């Protein structure tokens, strides 16, 4: 059995697919990953022996400019990604039995699976973007809804219209070229009636958050047994546990002057700092011996040895810190990050910073909560409740779905193309 796993997004979108690919391999299934050709992702997949098929432009080329991408950038990127999926996935999935897609609205993936007659699965790492009568849709490029509109049914209908504006013309042009009829609701066509949710139920309970029949597998964790760098080991052993500060792939989105603010806030709490350079290229503000800079590192090992984790609230970092039992301070910037910040606060395993741009005082106050012994105790308790076998659960489901026969949905029957 062979499966193709595809995404276009940041490391938080790619690493879970690596975890699933490893779990599939352990069950005798060959898996390949079709993802952006960023060097970091190629290195990650090579480390675990999973083939990478390059898809579209690098993510860094899109998000790492001096300013965040604009609406115009989004409308240029969307048809480019649709075309890349029809071209690249069609070739990569020729001998596969299933195609699993995630990341930035993977319009084109289901269509390739449909043409090839193989199973299709849509996976999310959070519930943002899944229609719900109980919640408003997240922000999306395009014509905004009226500020005074409160009917969630109307808001989600308008969200679907924005997705159509981004992807509809390109998707239906490529469908026509391979003999497939048009779809009139791209979002629901991509999602299917029964998407998978690769998130832990403790951190992200799906009940009540979406109207769709979600299959929740747990987070797809990639085991990491790499030792920490010798210089980092020396720093960790030279004093009390430091605070980790990192904003991952938040290049142009990272708060202005966040390294200075974070270092000074940690010093105000009497804590040393491990500063993750990340895509924002964070750097120390002086030569103080209380700050150590790291690049790509084994977070699973590092987070078990820090006093707290200050981060942007990506699904991957939030889960990694939670599994490690590390208290968190989440400074959310975009997309699903406000949800993870709120969830960390609700669970009592850390603090949600109010607003995107922290000050020394505001971050110091949040650290006071995270560094409280009661928060550490609660984080340890929650860590014990998080399942770590989500990738294996998903791998077994995927194998079972292929064995059950059928061509489009992974588990159960999905709506036909164009349903609302």
Q: How far apart are CA 339 and CA 353, in angstroms?
A: 12
pLDDT score, position 404: 79
Work out the percent of the chain whose per-residue pLDDT is above 70.
Answer: 96
Q: With CA atoms as reference, report the closest residue to 84 among 112, 56, 52, 116.
A: 56
Of the chain, the end-to-end C-alpha distance in Å amounts to 33
Q: What is the mean pLDDT of the chain?
A: 94
Is the pLDDT at 380 greater than 80, yes or no? Answer: yes
Q: SS3 sequence, 226-264? A: CCCCHHHHHHHCCCCCCEEECCCCCCCCCCCCHHHHHHH
Q: How far apart are CA 187 and CA 253, in angstroms?
A: 26
Tens-digit pLDDT profile for residues 203-236: 999 887 899 999 999 999 999 999 999 999 999 9
Tens-digit pLDDT profile for residues 6-32: 999 999 999 999 999 999 999 999 999
CATH topology for 2-221+388-403 is Rossmann fold (3.40.50)
Q: Are 22 and 223 in contact, with CB atoms under 8 Å apart?
A: yes
Is the pLDDT at 61 greater than 60, yes or no? Answer: yes
Tens-digit pLDDT profile for residues 326-365: 999 999 999 999 999 999 999 999 999 999 999 999 999 9
Identify the CATH class of 230-385. alpha beta
**Residue 250: pLDDT band by 50, 70, 90 thresholds?**
confident
Radius of gyration for the chain, computed over Cα atoms and rounded to the nearest angstrom = 21
414 or 279: whose pLDDT is higher? 279
Token pair belonging to 33: 């990953």
Q: Are 162 and 233 in contact, with CB atoms under 8 Å apart?
A: no
In the chain, ranges of CATH 3.40.50.2000 domains: 2-221+388-403, 230-385
Work out the percent of the chain whose per-residue pLDDT is above 90.
Answer: 91
Q: Are 191 and 212 in contact, with CB atoms under 8 Å apart?
A: yes
**Residue 405: pLDDT band by 50, 70, 90 thresholds?**
low
Is the pLDDT at 403 greater than 70, yes or no? Answer: yes
pLDDT score, position 103: 97
CA atoms within 13 A on the CB side of 304: 8
């Amino acid at each position: 059995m062979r499966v193709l796993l595809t995404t276009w997004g940041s490391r938080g979108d790619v690493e879970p697919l690596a975890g699933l690919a490893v779990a599939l391999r352990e069950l005798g299934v060959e898996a390949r990953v079709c993802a952006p050709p960023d060097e970091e992702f190629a290195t990650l997949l090579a480390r675990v022996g999973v083939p990478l098929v390059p898809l579209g432009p690098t993510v860094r080329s899109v998000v790492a400019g001096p300013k965040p991408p604009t609406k115009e950038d989004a409308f240029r990127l969307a048809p480019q990604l649709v075309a890349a999926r029809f071209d690249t996935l069609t070739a990569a999935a020729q001998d596969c039995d299933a195609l699993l897609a995630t990341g930035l609205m993977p319009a084109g993936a289901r269509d390739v699976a449909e043409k090839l007659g193989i199973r299709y699965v849509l996976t999310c790492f959070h519930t943002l973007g899944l229609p719900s009568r109980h919640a408003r849709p997240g922000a999306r490029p395009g014509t905004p809804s009226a500020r005074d509109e409160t009917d969630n049914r109307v808001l989600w209908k308008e969200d679907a219209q924005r997705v159509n504006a981004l992807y509809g013309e390109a998707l239906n042009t490529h469908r026509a070229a391979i003999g497939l009829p048009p779809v009139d609701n791209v979002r629901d066509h991509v999602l299917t009636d029964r998407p998978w949710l690769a998130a832990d139920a403790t951190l992200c309970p799906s009940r009540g958050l979406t109207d769709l029949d979600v299959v929740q597998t747990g987070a797809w964790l990639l085991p990491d047994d790499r030792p920490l760098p010798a210089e980092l080991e020396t720093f960790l052993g030279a004093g009390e546990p430091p605070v980790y500060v990192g904003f991952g792939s938040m290049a142009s989105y990272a708060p202005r002057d966040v390294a200075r603010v974070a270092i000074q806030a940690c010093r105000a709490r009497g804590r040393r700092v491990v500063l993750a350079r990340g895509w924002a290229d964070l750097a120390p503000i002086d030569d103080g011996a209380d700050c150590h800079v790291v690049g790509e590192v084994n977070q699973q090992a590092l987070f078990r040895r820090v006093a707290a984790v200050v981060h942007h609230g990506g699904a991957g970092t939030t889960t990694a810190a939670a599994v490690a039992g590390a208290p968190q301070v989440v400074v959310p910037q975009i997309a699903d990050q406000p949800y993870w910040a709120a969830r960390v606060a609700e669970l009592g395993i850390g603090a949600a910073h109010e607003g995107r741009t922290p000050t020394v005082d505001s971050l110091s106050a949040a650290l006071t909560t995270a560094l409280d012994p009661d928060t550490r105790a609660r984080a340890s308790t929650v860590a014990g409740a998080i399942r770590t076998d989500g990738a294996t659960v998903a791998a077994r489901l995927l194998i079972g779905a292929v064995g059950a026969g059928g061509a489009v949905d992974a588990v159960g029957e999905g709506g036909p193309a164009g349903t609302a």
